[in-house]
Amino acid sequence: MNIVLLGAPGAGKGTQAAKLVEEEGLCHISTGDILRAAVKNQTPLGVKAKSYMDAGDLVPDDLIIDLMKERIQQPDTEKGVILDGFPRTTTQAVALDTMLSELGRPLDAALLIDVDPEVIVNRLCSRRMCKECGHIGTAADAACPKCGGEMYQRDDDNETTVRNRLDVYEKSTSPLIDYYRGCELLVTIDGDRDPQVVYTDVKEALKL
């Protein structure tokens, strides 16, 4: 099963993907996580990507497409992937169609997790992540509820950058809603409910 998770920054893509990984064993590819690791390790990709990410702008399509071409051919993707944060532009969506068609793996669904932007600003300013296991939590978590690790705040989770990320989403990524509607792959899920309730709808949409 190959799925695209669509949705604004903070809509809950990572949260829902983590549940699918835990319960269904699907392979999760988050371009944001890959880029943050590249920045941390100061790889050539990380060095190029950092200023875009700090500003909340998109990293150029050619860098992202090259990264995904390599990642999607790795053996752990053969049984299917959850794509989180990719594609983010029409150019990336067209490139993904080509990659999947070359691999003979069709896309099964594009799930749009829909949340009001003002809800998102609050969510992202209070998001905290675990340094050890990557668990996505909130400022209410003094330590990671999964592994006890130290929690930190992402560099782009401040109000100014979050508002720019939302603008960039509206301008560059939201056209993909119509793109996937046109391919009859779009399923919209109300993401402004308890994460477990959202997950029930995600599973229903994927017939899991």
DSSP 174-206: THHHHHHHHTT-EEEEE-SS-HHHHHHHHHHHT
Contact call for residue 195 and ligand AP5 (CB under 6 A): yes
Task: Examine residue 185 and tell whether it contacts ligand AP5 (CB under 6 A).
Answer: no
Give the angle 38-42-43 at the CA atoms, nearest 5°: 65
Choose one: 20-28, 81-89, 96-104, 200-208; the region binding ligand AP5 (CB under 6 A).
81-89
> Smaller CB distance to ligand AP5: residue 52 or 104?
52
Q: How many residues does the chain have?
A: 208
* Binding segment (CB under 6 A) for ligand AP5, from list 19-27, 104-112, 132-140, 144-152: 132-140
- When asked if residue 14 is in the footprint of Mg ion (CB under 5 A), the reply is yes
Q: How many CB atoms lie within 10 A of CB 146?
A: 15
Q: Provide the 10 A C-beta neighbour count for residue 54.
A: 12
Six-digit token string for 173: 């990524």
Among 4, 6, 38, 53, binds ligand AP5 (CB under 6 A): 53
Q: Is 135 in the site for ligand AP5 (CB under 6 A)?
A: no
Q: Is 137 in the site for Mg ion (CB under 5 A)?
A: no
Comparing C-alpha atoms, which of 55, 15, 90 is closest to residue 165? 55
Q: Is 4 in the site for ligand AP5 (CB under 6 A)?
A: no
Chosen from Mg ion, ligand AP5, none, partner binding at 166 (C-beta under 5 to 8 Å by type): none
